[in-house]
Amino acid sequence: MHGQDIELNLSTPEQTLISFSFAEHTPAAIKAWVKDLPMANVGELSRQLYQAIIEFNKLTLPPLTRMQILELLRPPIDYVCKELSKHFLNQSVVLSEKQQKIANLTQAIQIHLATSYKIILIDSVPNINSEKVRKNFTCAAHRMMSEYGQVLLRSNQLYIHTPRDIWVEMHQVFYFAEQHNLLKYTVADDQRRDGRETRIDQVYKQNLLLSCCRPNQLRQNDIQIAYYAFELWSDLVDIGADQIDESVFVINIEQDLPPRYKSLLKSTSASHYGFNTTELVSRLNEHLNTEVEQAKSKKRIEKEPIIALPKHISDVVLDHLHHSFGVLTKRSFKRVEDEGALNLCVGLSASHYYTSGKVEFHTQMLQHASGSTSGDDNIFLSATNQSQDGWGDSYDAGSHSATTPSDAPISYDRAIDDKLDSAYPKYTVPLVNTSPGGYCLQWEGEVPSNIQAGEIISLRENAQQAWSIAVIRWIRHIKQQGTQVGIELLAPSAKPCGVQLLQKTGDPSEYLRGLLLPELSAIGQPTTLITPRLPFMSGHKVSIRANGAEGKCNLETRVSATGSFSQFELSENKQMKELTENRVPDIEVGDNDDDFDSLWPTL
């Protein structure tokens, strides 16, 4: 592709029809047809629009007339795609067969709409020097980029691969527009949330930012919010052949690929463009630092915003984007293929339940208050009970009767345990590969709905090991292979606890589940606390209950956060030092007599 000689090699069907089967092929007739569409019946609406857009792409029409009709078809297509998306977004990350078909239909409708605009582009090239044609071309290119952007967004929200040819076609159209000086024109678009007119390159850069933000590490809603943020930030990034030296990312405009980290390439060529995110990273860094300083000072300073932000975007997502657009951090450990499996449970509640020896949280807090206990595997036992003979409860210790008094209460422990176990299911998941820092898992069969990027999990290789604490870092669906999940280890063990927010005025909050993670001296990380995402923040004072002890401290630096949890360093004091060091190991009795084979010779 060179200068003014560039051709557009875009995939379009052959135009062989001379009329519609459902209406006259005039803007007035299509306007009347659209007005009569069954907007309340999404099934019938999607059927009619799907068939209409396929037929439309095979119809012979002048580019200007095609654009007029497309402007009438686009709003109902946008509406039906949003309605169809409700059937498969914010559900389980693995779709049912019906959901998959609906997702495929939604993508197909949007891709066919983008194809309609591509036909305009191809038909406009011979007369591109005409001012009217140039403006019509610009509008069609802008619309094509926008429709492809929705396809990209949905693909990333479903953690699936981008449909073929989308990237190379966007690269081509951008390059053509650049070479023919079309980036100076702005286009109005009612479907863009900020309402301002934008250029072709701004929509293109919004899509590029989406691909660079490591979306498989974000939740579906966060991907949606981030994509809107990229609309606001498109002027904070630059693209061009002259940007390569300053850029973290590069684009090969002749390949069907998104931007790649420049550090991963051996060399660049004439077909490479730099995608420079330096200014955006700088603004994000300044904003996040300002937020930290204001949180420490507990004063909100009103001043001009450092960067435009959409509503509901969290500092957790901003921090993720800040790191994603910066320099690539290399993997600390090499992956090793593995054929084993892991036992795991998902979520803070389940992790708390199993690391506490399968004691329900409410029971733990009541036991702390009353000093009473039940269940031999409860790590919340009082110090007195823990000092008793470790074999005192064995069947041959002589301290138990074969019968119980007639007025003794009936034990419902087994039924309760079974009920709680079903509330906090465990899964056995095959390994793909391992490293000292985490795992790649191959999830087979139905994937639980709470498998989400950023979710806390507990895992172990067998029942004799303590539960390790980890986080789901990414999810991806591979065609005909299923779902893979990337896991990062946070700590080799955890102490379950209750965390209460202490307020200067008013009553303290209820106790919420927390996990105390041990000091990791190898990486210089002190003892940290895992809490729910809300209401805890750096600077808050909390009370922590664990193992029959209680301590108060301040939440210091937030070392990690996702949409599910936050991880804080804690202020040091004598109470907390005693509480964090008083570790009682997890115990779970197995059914296998071999568990004790190594014990007999030592007795």
Determine contact, residues 118/184, Cβ cutoff 8 Å: no
pLDDT at residue 548 is higher than 80: no
CATH number, domain with residue 344 = 2.30.110
| pLDDT for the residue numbered 336 | 61
Establish if 532 belongs to a structural domain. Answer: yes
Q: Which residues pair with residue 487 across a beta bridge?
A: 439, 472
- 446 with 564, same domain: the answer is no
| pLDDT for the residue numbered 567 | 94
| pLDDT for the residue numbered 64 | 97
pLDDT at residue 41 is higher than 80: yes
pLDDT in tens, 556-575: 988 888 889 999 999 877 77
Look up the domain containing 112 and give its range: 3-235
Average pLDDT rounded to a whole number, residues 391-404 = 37
Residues in Cβ contact with 338 at an 8 Å cutoff, skipping those fewer than 6 apart: 431, 432, 433, 434, 439
pLDDT at residue 237 is higher than 90: yes
- 99 with 55, same domain: the answer is yes
Average pLDDT rounded to a whole number, residues 359-374 = 67
- 426 with 551, same domain: the answer is no
- 227 with 341, same domain: the answer is no
Domain total in the chain:
3
pLDDT in tens, 14-34: 999 999 999 999 999 999 999
pLDDT at residue 391 is higher than 70: no
Establish if 151 belongs to a structural domain. Answer: yes
- 502 with 576, same domain: the answer is yes
pLDDT at residue 589 is higher than 50: no
Determine contact, residues 8/117, Cβ cutoff 8 Å: no
| pLDDT for the residue numbered 522 | 65
pLDDT at residue 412 is higher than 50: no
Which CB contacts under 8 angstroms, 24+ apart, belong to 169-172? 169/10, 169/11, 169/118, 169/144, 170/144, 170/145, 170/204, 170/207, 171/251, 171/252, 171/253, 171/254, 171/255, 172/1, 172/6, 172/8, 172/9, 172/10, 172/253
Task: Give the separation between CA 352 and CA 576, rounded to whole angstroms.
Answer: 19
- 549 with 464, same domain: the answer is no
Place of tokens 């995608």: 275
- 29 with 96, same domain: the answer is yes
Measuring CA to CA, which residue among 419, 424, 420 is closest to residue 450? 424
| pLDDT for the residue numbered 201 | 98
Chain mean pLDDT for the chain: 84
| pLDDT for the residue numbered 580 | 66
- 455 with 519, same domain: the answer is no
% pLDDT > 70, the chain: 82
Do the strands 482-491 and 438-443 form a parallel or antiparallel pair, or are they unpaired?
A: antiparallel
Burial class (CB in 10 A: 0-12, 13-18, 19+), 548: buried
CATH number, domain with residue 575 = 2.40.10
Establish if 544 belongs to a structural domain. Answer: yes
Question: In terms of pLDDT, which residue wins out, 602 or 563?
Answer: 563
Task: Give the separation between CA 546 and CA 515, rounded to whole angstroms.
Answer: 9
Question: In terms of pLDDT, which residue wins out, 251 or 395?
Answer: 251
- 40 with 160, same domain: the answer is yes
pLDDT in tens, 170-216: 999 999 999 999 999 999 999 888 788 999 999 999 999 999 999 99
Phi-psi region of 516 (alpha: psi -120 to 50; beta: other; left: phi over 0): beta
Q: What one-character DSSP code corresponds to residue 494?
A: -
Average pLDDT rounded to a whole number, residues 427-446 = 86
Q: Which of 465, 490, 515 is the last residue of a domain?
A: 490
Average pLDDT rounded to a whole number, residues 328-353 = 77
| pLDDT for the residue numbered 398 | 38
Lowest mean pLDDT among 257-261, 283-287, 445-449, 478-482: 478-482
Task: Give the separation between CA 261 and CA 342, rounded to whole angstroms.
Answer: 32
Q: Within its chain, how far is the Cα of 580 from the centroid?
A: 32
- 527 with 566, same domain: the answer is yes
| pLDDT for the residue numbered 74 | 97
First-to-last alpha carbon distance for the chain, in angstroms, is 81
- 165 with 219, same domain: the answer is yes
- 450 with 500, same domain: the answer is no
Q: What one-character DSSP code corresponds to residue 448?
A: P
